[in-house]
Amino acid sequence: MTNLTIGLLGCGTVGGALVDLLDARRATITARTGVELRIGAIAVRDTAKHQDRLADPSLLTTDTAAVVADPEVDIVVELIGGTDPALTLVRTALENGKPVITGNKELLAAHGPELYAVAAEHGVDLLFEAAVAGGIPLIRPLRESLVGEDISRVMGIINGTTNYILTKMSQEGADYADALADAQALGYAEADPTADVEGYDAGAKAAIIASIVFGVDVRSSDVQHEGISSITAADIDTAKRLGYVIKALAVIERADGEVAVRVHPAMVPTGHPLANVNDSFNAVFVEGATVGDLMFYGRGAGGGPTASAVLGDLVDAAVNVANGAAARLSITEKVTLRSVDELSSQYYLTMVVSDEPGVLAQVATVFGTHGVSIQVMEQSGTGGDAELCLILHETTEAALHATLDELDGLNVVRGIGSVIRLVSDD
Ligand code: NDP
Ligand code: HSE
């Protein structure tokens, strides 16, 4: 029997759920692994808030550094979030020879490769299953089971908050602000929900996926990201009418030695498996050269599901400590990022034009000049103005933006409305 003491940093949505889950599963874990896990200290900002909730409030402290330095603490679990003081705490714990479990994607997407190197140098685990796609086991399969695969693309829904908001807007006609407030109340959103709705959270997760899958150094700042805050109820209705549903997607791909990582809203055909991933669920497709297509699906946010991922890592690290082992992760390659201009996609776009003879010809000429091909065009509205809804064949960002700039300069174009990427049927 090995007895190990955990220093828990943060006892909010995820940390609190972890305390409960560990209590519920301790005996089974001990029986199965021969390791007994005990929480020795819990660091928070405000201990008063947690006094009544915890079975043993004497574990509470505000001194995070003391928890990390405590020689009695064998494993550190970081569930504070953000980079300060999390970076210093995680690095110090690793330097002190303590394995670290974290759910902190912001930290890993900004400083992951340095921290993986510190962990390797000190021969300890740095595990972060909870950082990407909440409760879904994804990092371990990518890092271990699929390490021999030549993976070309990973695509999926990796933010629970935005998927919850888009689902409520689409299925119940909910207002954006109300849906966001619900997602916050349910514990899905980040401390600052701008991270969710503007795509930073998904961008951080996408950078981590790219690093793991391709073994390359990709940071948040390398990710092209767009949020969902510009998506309107009208976009959602039009998408529905055309046979699509709007989802916030992450796409991580490698081709010709270059890596492209982007997150953005997209219109997904209703028959596509991602169209039916709703509420706080996440789903991730992995395309491997030998294994073929894989899909991972489950709860992407929330205290319980995320605590489950943290506990899995905790048991893994504990068993490694008991056996004197550690998992290694090395990010060796520098990567060439594909220029944003070269990224290509199908697009849906709307514009308001004056409703007079010859207008469509002028508009179509601009598309043709830039080599952008129109798949579907619909006109609606009466009176002086008309709204055009177009679906474009696949085109590059550079060609699309050149087209939009020229259209914007035409007298007959009153304004460009929505511009949303589209996932094709095939
Ligand atoms: P919460 O905001 O609910 O909890 C944060 C906890 O950290 C609180 O207990 C807070 O103390 C404590 N804390 C914050 N700053 C400090 C500090 N400087 N010193 C000491 N304690 C501090 O966050 P979550 O539990 O939702 O998230 C934690 C981490 O897990 C984040 O990295 C998040 O991105 C990640 N994550 C969250 C998921 C989710 O669904 N919520 C899913 C996947 C990952 P106090 O309680 O006193 O305020
Ligand atoms: N805020 C994140 C989300 C939590 O909504 O997906 C899980 O990482």
Q: In this structure, is residue 386 part of a structural domain? A: yes
pTM value surpassing 0.85: yes
192 and 97 belong to one structural domain: no
Which residues line the pocket of ligand 2, CB cutoff 6 A? 134, 159-161, 188-190, 196, 201, 300-301
Alpha carbon of residue 174 to chain centroid = 23
- Segments forming the whole domain that contains residue 171: 147-299
Ligand 2 atom showing the smallest separation from residue 130 Cα: 8
Say what the pLDDT of residue 55 is: 94
The minimum-distance atom of ligand 1 relative to the CA of 189 is 41
What is the C-alpha to C-alpha distance for residues 388 and 363, in angstroms, rounded to an integer? Answer: 10
Q: What is the CATH number of the domain that holds 315?
A: 3.40.50.720
**Other beta carbons within 10 Å of 142:** 23
Strand extents, DSSP E, 28-135? 35-43, 60-61, 75-78, 100-102, 126-127
Residues with CB under 6 A from ligand 1: 10-15, 43-46, 49, 64, 79-81, 85, 103-105, 130, 134, 187-188, 190-191, 301-302, 306
- Domain-located, residue 139: no
293 and 308 part of one domain: no
CATH code: domain of residue 354: 3.30.70.260
Same-domain check for residues 121 and 218: no
Distance CA 220, CA 62 (A): 30
Q: Which pLDDT score, from 0 to 100, does residue 381 have?
A: 80
- What's the CA-to-centroid distance between 301 and ligand 2, angstroms? 5
**How many Å lie between the centroid of ligand 2 and the Cα of residue 188?**
5
Distance 45 CA to ligand 1 centre (A): 10
Q: Are residues 186 and 244 in the same domain?
A: yes
Q: Are 161 and 180 in contact (CB under 8 A)?
A: yes
For residues 290 and 127, give the distance between their C-alpha atoms in angstroms, rounded to a whole number: 27
pLDDT for res 426:
67
Is residue 141 situated within a structural domain? no
143 CA to centre of ligand 1 in angstroms: 25
Residue 243 in domain = yes
Q: What is the pLDDT of residue 327?
A: 78
Number of compact structural domains in the chain: 3
At residue 341, the pLDDT reads 86
pLDDT at 313: 97
Q: Which of 159, 163, 278 to mutate to test the pocket of ligand 2 (most atoms within 8 A of CB)?
A: 159
Residue 108 lies in a domain: yes
Per-10-residue mean pLDDT of the chain, 426 residues long, equals 97 98 98 97 98 96 98 98 98 98 98 94 97 97 94 97 98 96 97 97 97 93 94 93 96 91 97 96 97 97 97 97 84 79 93 93 97 94 86 96 97 95 85
Please provide the DSSP assignment of 196-240 as one string. Answer: HHTTHHHHHHHHHHHHHHH-B---GGGSEE--STT--HHHHHHHH
Same domain, 167 and 198: yes
Asked if the structure places residue 70 within a domain, the reply is: yes
Residues marked active site are found at 205
| 114 falls within a domain | yes
Residue nearest to atom 7 of ligand 2 (CA): 301
Mark whether 345 and 223 lie in a shared domain.
no
pLDDT at 24: 98
Clarify whether residues 151 and 295 are in a common domain.
Answer: yes
Query: Ligand 2 centre from 337 Cα, in Å?
Result: 26
Same domain? 154 vs 288: yes
Tell me the ligand closest to 64's alpha carbon.
1
3-state percent breakdown (helix, strand, coil) of the chain, nearest 5: 40, 30, 30
Shared domain for 272 and 348, answered yes or no, is no
Task: Measure CA 115 to chain center.
Answer: 20
Ligand 1 mutation pick, 20, 39, 44, max ligand atoms within 8 A of CB: 44
Distance, CA of 332 to CA of 88 (rounded, Å): 23
pLDDT of residue 332: 65
Does one domain contain both 63 and 157? no
Residues 373 and 346 in one domain: yes
Are 128 and 228 in the same domain? no
**What are residue 76's DSSP bridge partners?**
7, 100
Residue 11: nearest ligand to its CA?
1
Report yes or no on 35 lying in a domain: yes
Phi, psi of 383 (to 5 degrees): 100, -155
CATH number of the domain residue 214 falls in: 3.30.360.10
CA of 78 to the centre of ligand 1 (A): 9
Ligand 1 mutation pick, 39, 62, 80, 90, max ligand atoms within 8 A of CB: 80
